[in-house]
Structure 1
């Protein structure tokens, strides 16, 4: 996701300074896009005025923000950190406080909805939590990446909304996988079944943009790893427990993802749930 964001920003003429926990990855993206590579997260954080963060989980975010060489130390007054990572709301709240206390900068939790192709088209949906003025400061950069930007509340609200959206996305993924395998096992050609799904009342954006992954799973690139789906569902169920919100479908989805990951599909795209079900007797 970070590489796709960099490419999109550079194509729009935005100067980009990169940092990655794996320097070789940053070097490859920089060579492909003309971005500059920072030597530390602090250096990247100081290169603002807008700093975008996109990392895999809460632990990765904390490691990148904390310490004398972290993002928080580099983000000084006038800098807004817009974090697109999917993390727990409490993590977003704590990181915002760390940025403010360490370097005097501001932070927004700005998780996004959309896959790499959506980034490439500049059509992400951004769910922003934090100060409205800070969001206005970050909009010139976010507008390059996003079709829609929603200010949903204070720090943590963006992270909360992203988990709610992903609860729906992961439920759609599970339901689509089950329905497709049902049609196949009952003798309907896979492509024909998917054509019907796409043309039906259920054929919303998720069904449309995941079509290649479900119809030709051996050819389509990995857009969202199944092990990260499991991470999301853990965050969703933890938030549900804190909020007192019953989510029986999310519990079932988490169990199905755990079974698929245990079967060796953790590095596969989320659509591999269909392959997992297809292979079961």
Structure 2
């Protein structure tokens, strides 16, 4: 299968490497070309060139603005699409954004699926990430070989926009867990319990979700762990979830509380730090 990957940040690069490792014919594009090199396929000069001959296009970009920019214009990916191609967008964006882009893609004869993921870069690297899909079932089947190169499970949730909706709901819960984990760890420390021992108990308790395990190094030794999910992006996702909640009339008081704490941490200069840095923020460090 010929696969193009558009966007090679941390997640996109890991996806591209898995696609190439599965034996697919890979082409990549990134706004900064140097970040797209060495992933197992040639680097295209434009998004349009990258997708022109692809069976499946995997998109992984930071936010709504970056997604719209990559799709639009004479060098954008929509300009390079044609019949029977499938675009699977793993970006975390507003459902309305992906629904609007689906119309642009459909006008070329191609199909767009919103396929955001739940998990981390190591989950992609091990091929165990979850895909939450919205869109046409037949298009999903055509794209499945590419998705299965890095995903363990793919759940089709409904029409285009359903995947984006579920991703915001899941992330709201993940960020709530992150907040609670930070608070509980700092509470135990302040009361005299060793940080490593406290984390061992948390990781062995009823709240030991996968997130608790794969964030252990980041919480235990904040200075040594790389940034996996910056607080600036956490704020973006929480704002998207809040907007969706307002649109559908859902009460989300915990989300509002978490957004306030994240905002405080960003105001203190931690926007570029990993979401686990909330613990350091609460320590006053």
Q: Give TM class, smaller chain.
A: over 0.9
Which residue of 2 is the match for residue 66 of structure 1? Answer: 72
- Whole-angstrom CA distance in 1 between matches of 2:147 and 2:106: 21
Displacement of 1:140? 0.4
Equivalent of 2:24 in 11, 14, 37: 14
C-alpha distance in structure 1 between counterparts of 2:209 and 2:239, whole Å:
26
Match of 2:267 among 255, 262, 265: 262
**Alignment pair present for 1:130 and 2:135:** yes
Find the partner of 2:156 among 133, 151, 154: 151
Extract unaligned runs of 5+ from structure 2. Answer: 1-10
Cα deviation, residue 161, structure 1: 0.5
Q: Which residue of 2 aligns with 1:105?
A: 110
Rounded to whole Å, the distance in 2 between the matches of 1:187 and 1:155 is 50
Is the counterpart of residue 279 in structure 1 residue 279 in structure 2? no
Q: In structure 2, what is the Cα distance between the partners aligned to 1:265 and 1:123? A: 30
Separation of aligned partners in 2, 1:143 and 1:154: 20
TM-score by length of structure 1 reads 0.96
Query: Does 2:94 match 1:88?
Result: yes
- Please give the alpha-carbon distance, in whole angstroms, between the structure 2 residues aligned to 1:130 and 1:243: 20
Normalising to structure 2: TM-score of the pair? 0.95
Q: In the TM superposition, what is the alpha-carbon distance from 1:221 to its structure 2 partner? A: 1.2
8 Å Cα contact 2:185/2:198 also seen in 1: yes
Match of 2:192 in 1: 187
Deviation sequence 1:43-83 (CA, Å, 0-9, x none):
11213100000000000000000112111111211100000
Partner of 1:40: 46
SS at the partner of 1:271? helix
Question: SS of the residue aligned with 2:58?
Answer: strand
Compare the two structures and name the one with the higher helix fraction. Answer: 1
Residue 236 (structure 2) aligned to one of 219, 231, 240: 231
Q: Between Structure 1 and Structure 2, how many residues are aligned?
A: 275
Runs of 4+ residues deviating >4 angstroms: none
Aligned partners of 1:184 and 1:190 also within 8 Å: yes
Deviation at 1:15, TM superposition (A): 1.8
Tell me the CA shift for residue 34 of structure 1. Answer: 2.7
In the alignment, structure 1 segments of 5+ residues that lack a partner are none
CA contact (8 A) 1:108 1:135 kept: yes
